[in-house]
Amino acid sequence: LSQFDSSRWLHNLSALIGAASFVVANINKHGRPVLVHCSDGWDRTPQITTLAEIMLDSYYRTIDGFQTLVQREWIAFGHKFGDRCGHGVGANDPNERSPVFLQWLDCVYQLFI
């Protein structure tokens, strides 16, 4: 349990859901356009934008919508699944490993429970 606590997993989930909620509030309540771009655009950007899309549009809360979202925002935009999971060309570089997609899936789960 202490390894889990030291990973700050729940803190990171909270930060991601909070960022997505900020996007949603600016779009829904204030009618403002929002630009989301993280340092490299590979990791945090799709996490935040896809969570916001799920919150904003009930279509993305369906199986077809969820599949569309993953295909468009993660696969088509080139998320580094292999590197982040430790199975790609960069698999030998521990700095490339990060559970970005799993973190996002946990956020989606948290939204639905």
On whether 106 is known to bind a ligand per the annotation, the reply is: no
6 CB contacts (<8 Å, ≥6 apart)?
Answer: none
3-class SS of residue 75:
helix
Is 40 marked within a binding site? yes
Catalytic, out of 36, 38, 56, 85: 38
Torsion 110-51-95-81 (CA) sign: positive
Residue appearing with tokens 């859901």: 17
Do residues 87 and 99 lie in contact, with contact meaning Cβ atoms separated by under 8 Å?
Answer: no
Tell me 93's DSSP state: -
Q: Is 61 marked as binding a ligand?
A: no
For residue 99, give the 3-state DSSP assignment. Answer: coil
Is residue 44 a known part of a binding site? Answer: yes
Is residue 42 part of an annotated ligand binding site? yes
85 is an active site residue = no
Annotated binding-site residues read: 38-44
Could you give the residue numbers annotated as active site?
Answer: 38
Annotated binding-site residues for substrate read: 38-44
